[in-house]
Amino acid sequence: MHRVFSGIQPSGVPTLGNYLGAIRNWVPMQDRHDCLFCIVDLHAITVWQEPAQLLAQTREMAATLLACGLDPKRCVLFVQSHVTAHAELAWIFNCVARLGWLNRMTQFKDKAGKDREAASAGLYVYPNLMAADILAYKATSVPVGDDQRQHLELANDIAQKFNHDYGTEFFPRIEPFIQGVAARVMSLRDGTKKMSKSDPSDQSRINLNDDTDTIALKIRRARTDAEPLPGHLAQLESRPEARNLVGILAAVTGTLPENVLREHEGQGFGAFKEVLTEALVAHLSPIRAEMLRLLQDAPALDAALRQGSERAEAIARPVLAEVKRLVGFLPRG
């Protein structure tokens, strides 16, 4: 039995990318492993978040995750800032990670953009906090989308350097769990950019709380090209938007892109988009309905999160105590 940890930022409503790339894979893991799923509000404030909105989005995220099938009886669902171990261990990791390692992180470069001097220091050390999230529970399996691969490599570098510097085998190796077909869902407006909850254009993504008409409109407006669909995946290599829509339909209907192409070969995007809309609506509307229902009882959501943080804290406390002994903050033995 592995200990599984994953996180999601409450920086907006989760998108179809979050769902297909990560959340959907978390659900079956609850039956097989010891799972912790964390709403990472400390990570969210590495870019500006309006306080009232952050609080609302955190609750909304909890409702969405529950609606997608996370079950507080079978996993620990909690909010990062409620468990102080994350910030404490992150500080120690700030002192383990090297500037050279952080300088190679592509996500920092993407998010900071041209004006790097104006980015927060938090955005720069974001991956150190991620390493702390995982290692505060000595988790070994981390289910994420493809964009997190580099961060997990860094987390392993930090764990290894900590072990080496303090002469211990304390931290385990972390294995990323990145599932094939939908590990990288792309923007509906630009097939070379990933679908993101923080993209300024709402048309670029499907949000898990979009209603039927909104989904239909966004898919109808999704960028495509004039060619009909080919019979083989290799023929979509230079058609990122088409490949993305085919990938989404495959993921939502539980098949492979090759099978989608076999079925829709020769079709134009008008007909294909109708099929895609129908599949998305069938899949997402029960999630949306359940999310709206759960949001009506905010005290129940808050209570579930409070209980989650108590359970998380109980796992992290002895790990942190041992780290403090290893570092020399507390006497050993």
The residue ranges that bind ligand TYM (CB under 6 A) are: 5-9, 17-18, 21-22, 40, 43, 130, 133-134, 142, 144-145, 147-148, 183-185, 194-196
Residue nearest to ligand TYM (CB): 21
Q: Report helix, strand and coil shares of the chain as percent, to nearest 5.
A: 60, 10, 35
In the complex, minimum distance from the CB of residue 183 to ligand TYM, in angstroms, rounded to a whole number = 6
Nearer to ligand TYM, 75 or 183 (CB): 183
Measured in whole angstroms, the distance separating CA 83 from the mean position of its chain's CA atoms is: 19
In the complex, minimum distance from the CB of residue 64 to ligand TYM, in angstroms, rounded to a whole number = 12
Nearer to ligand TYM, 43 or 288 (CB): 43
In the complex, minimum distance from the CB of residue 229 to ligand TYM, in angstroms, rounded to a whole number = 22
Residue 132 CA to residue 143 CA, distance in Å, equals 16
Nearer to ligand TYM, 82 or 325 (CB): 82
In the complex, minimum distance from the CB of residue 167 to ligand TYM, in angstroms, rounded to a whole number = 26
In the complex, minimum distance from the CB of residue 18 to ligand TYM, in angstroms, rounded to a whole number = 4
E strands along the chain, which residues?
3-8, 34-39, 76-79, 141-143, 175-177
Residue 214 CA to residue 170 CA, distance in Å, equals 49
What are 269's two structure tokens? Answer: 């995007």
Measured in whole angstroms, the distance separating CA 330 from the mean position of its chain's CA atoms is: 35
Nearer to ligand TYM, 123 or 327 (CB): 123
Residue 16 CA to residue 205 CA, distance in Å, equals 7
- Scanning 47-176, the segments in alpha helix (DSSP H) are 51-68, 85-94, 99-103, 106-112, 121-124, 126-135, 149-165
Nearer to ligand TYM, 160 or 329 (CB): 160
In the complex, minimum distance from the CB of residue 5 to ligand TYM, in angstroms, rounded to a whole number = 6
Contact 27, 47 (CB under 8 A): no
**Catalytic residue positions, numbered:** 111, 194, 197
Nearer to ligand TYM, 195 or 315 (CB): 195
Residue 123 CA to residue 121 CA, distance in Å, equals 5
| Angstrom distances, CA of residue 215 to CA of 62, 166, 170 | 22, 53, 47
